Amino acid sequence: MKFRIAVLLVMVVFAKAAVAQDTCNCEGTLTKLIVKIESEYPGLAEKTKDSLLYSTLKTNLIAESKITKDSLCLNVLKKYTGFFKDSHIWILPAEKKIIKKPGDPAFKIMNISNRAFKKRLATTTNKLEGIWKADNYTIGIIKTGKDDYTGFIIEADWKVWKPNEIKFKLTKGKQFEYLMQDHSLQVGSYTLYDESILYFNEIRSAFVKQSPVVKLDSASAIQKINEIEGFYVKKLTAKTTLIRLSNFSYGYVDRIEGLIAQNRALLEQCENLIIDLRDNGGGTDIAYTGLLPFIMTAPVRHMGVEYLATQTLIDGLETYKNGLKDLEKYKLEIESINRNIEIFKKNLGKFVNTEEKAVTIDTIKLEQNSPKQIIILSNKKVGSAAENLLMSAKQSKKVKILGTPSFGVLDYASARFFNFGCSNYQLLLPTYRSLRLPAYPVDNIGIQPDVYLDDTIKDWVDYAVKYLED
């Protein structure tokens, strides 16, 4: 599959806004927002064909912005962006981080020695007290109140953390206060799984217990975390296997590739395969390329896209490219990005088809042994790159989609944050339009299933198994 520079984002955005120099009042924000969208939104012409309606909207909203308090301005801005009915356009307040520094009364250094802590653990029967690990952190957790626990640093990056510095607090009602690497404060709820995995739900971070009582070995803990986050393969019956893929964001690419590699024999040997994409809001097309050889029956035909060449797009590609660590692994991708950047620089303000043709054909080397029947489960929360997988899979003779219409956010995509001159807000805009338009729109319609599953069907997986095997 050819590399696409589109980073497709819908439900979760892993990016930061460019920092503007000025904050704006409501009228100023709306005015600058209109200028930015009218100059850099690739769907403007299609979405403003009714020029009178659009002009009237702007006039009314500008008048409203003059009498709206800045604190209430977001409602006015959303009325404007909502006109375009494009879920890749977001306007939201700039992120305001609460930063906690060492010495802060709420997050001071934990006053306990390693010796005293280990002595306490030798006699504790508390399920949370102990030593826990996650990525580059080793954390000690100790009970500090009736329903309160404190997690403190035992080992970490010493450029960022100090020994015994408090990393998080657990409070009544399974709530948490958690310091990220930059010491910004995050809050939310946590769940304890099998007395061995402490999972912070909102930030999708897991800590695995190391001592004193360990109920899951390392491999079992990894498998459990994958199940919690929606990445796993299960053999359901003698004939049918399930693969669950909950997210296609860049951060999960390696995990998905590993999942497919570790379960290759199962994927090759199963007669039926169910791919559960429910609630997958998208990410990158790269995430699912390893699955295509098992599900396709012929080369995949892709309609091309036209990018609106802007400095924002160029800057975003440069930032992504510079963040790639394994230069050898991403050599071809980097070469493609560099080529496209040069094309965009020469065509600022114009629509550009970097492939120079309307249709591309991906010749996929199909697996010699693969499932005979495949079902993909899709619902209203499946969007963006996950919808791209649905579009490709529909071309396979052995695939059927079961569920409901998907989210419908593919016509204008490759969303990025745009600096529009107001640092108190963030603006997310798509950067391309599909060459399917206007003949075959998907936005606000969705990819239609082959078999619609209504509300009376409670267990979709069970239904899919019976559909395949009965």
Query: What's this model's pTM, rounded to 2 decimal places?
Result: 0.86
CATH number at residue 328: 3.90.226.10
Let me know if residue 420 belongs to a domain.
no
Same domain, 305 and 168: no
Same domain, 252 and 154: no
> What is the Cα–Cα distance from 324 to 4, expressed in whole angstroms?
15
Number of domains in the chain: 3
Same domain, 194 and 229: no
Residue 348 pLDDT > 50 = yes
Residue 18 pLDDT > 70 = no
Let me know if residue 233 belongs to a domain.
yes
Task: Look at residue 191 in the predicted model and tell me its pLDDT.
Answer: 97
> What is the Cα–Cα distance from 280 to 420, expressed in whole angstroms?
30
Same domain, 211 and 252: no
Let me know if residue 72 belongs to a domain.
yes
Same domain, 395 and 457: yes
Note the pLDDT tens digit of each residue in 108-132.
889 999 999 999 999 999 999 999 9
Let me know if residue 19 belongs to a domain.
no
Q: What is the mean pLDDT of residues 187-199?
A: 97
Task: Look at residue 330 in the predicted model and tell me its pLDDT.
Answer: 82
Same domain, 142 and 201: yes
pLDDT band for position 327 (50/70/90)? Answer: confident
Let me know if residue 303 belongs to a domain.
yes
- Tell me which residue range forms the domain holding 72: 26-93
Q: Of the residues 197, 216, 235, which one is the last residue of a structural domain?
A: 216
Task: Look at residue 103 in the predicted model and tell me its pLDDT.
Answer: 64
Same domain, 85 and 134: no
> What is the Cα–Cα distance from 224 to 298, expressed in whole angstroms?
35
Same domain, 124 and 181: yes
Let me know if residue 423 belongs to a domain.
no
Q: Which residues contact 458 (CB under 8 A, 6 or more apart)?
A: none
Q: What is the mean pLDDT of residues 262-289?
A: 96
pLDDT band for position 328 (50/70/90)? Answer: confident
Let me know if residue 346 belongs to a domain.
yes
Which residue in this structure is represented by tokens 């000690």?
A: 140
Work out whether strand 149-155 and strand 137-143 pair parallel, antiparallel, or are unpaired.
antiparallel
Same domain, 315 and 406: yes
Let me know if residue 172 belongs to a domain.
yes
Three-class SS state of 229 = helix
Closest CA to 196 of 167, 163, 234, 222: 222
